[in-house]
Amino acid sequence: MPGKILICDDEPHIRRLIELSLEELESEGVELILTEDGEEALAEARAQDPDLVILDVMMPRLNGFDVCKAIRKDGRAKPPYVILLTSKGQEYDRQKGTSVGANRFMTKPFDPDVLVATAREILSGGR
Contact 118, 104 (CB under 8 A): yes
H or E element in which residue 87 lies: none
To the question of pTM greater than 0.85 for the whole model, the response is: yes
CATH class of segment(s) 3-123: alpha beta
pLDDT value for 127: 63
* pLDDT, mean of residues 98-117: 93
Residue range 60-80, pLDDT digits in tens? 889 999 999 999 998 887 899
> Average pLDDT, whole number, for the chain?
93
Share of the chain above pLDDT 70, in %: 97
Evaluate if residue 27 carries a pLDDT over 90.
yes
Evaluate if residue 107 carries a pLDDT over 70.
yes
Contact 84, 116 (CB under 8 A): no
Provide the residue ranges of all domains of the chain, joining segments of one domain with +: 3-123
Contact 73, 100 (CB under 8 A): no
